[in-house]
Amino acid sequence: MAGEIKELRKDCASYAEKLERIKSAANHVTPEEKEKVCSEQKLYCKEWRRRKRMATELLEAILEGYPKSKKQFFEEVGIETDEDHNVTLP
């Protein structure tokens, strides 16, 4: 029992030391990780713009021969736009 307590106190001390190192660290993200995340965000934003442009062009082509308004068409088909949800591209 005394051995277990000694072992647990040792573990507790090591965890406390680890916690202090983490708390005192100013930057938790390495520059490589930051660059990777930034490049992925740029890629996803580029794809978002490309797909939005493609969808807009397709919908505009459909609406040329559609007798009702754009808003009515979107409601009938069930299309939700970024503007409906106040989403803007970064």
pLDDT tens-digit profile of 2-43?
A: 888 888 899 999 999 888 877 777 667 778 888 999 999 999
CA 19 to chain centre: 28
Q: CA neighbours within 13 Å on the CB side: how many for 54?
A: 6
Name every residue whose Cβ is closer than 8 Å to that of residue 52 and which is 6 or more positions away in sequence.
Answer: 82, 89
pTM of the predicted structure, to 2 decimals: 0.60
Identity of the residue numbered 4: E
Residue 65's pLDDT band, with cuts at 50, 70 and 90, is confident
* Domain residue ranges in the chain: 2-81
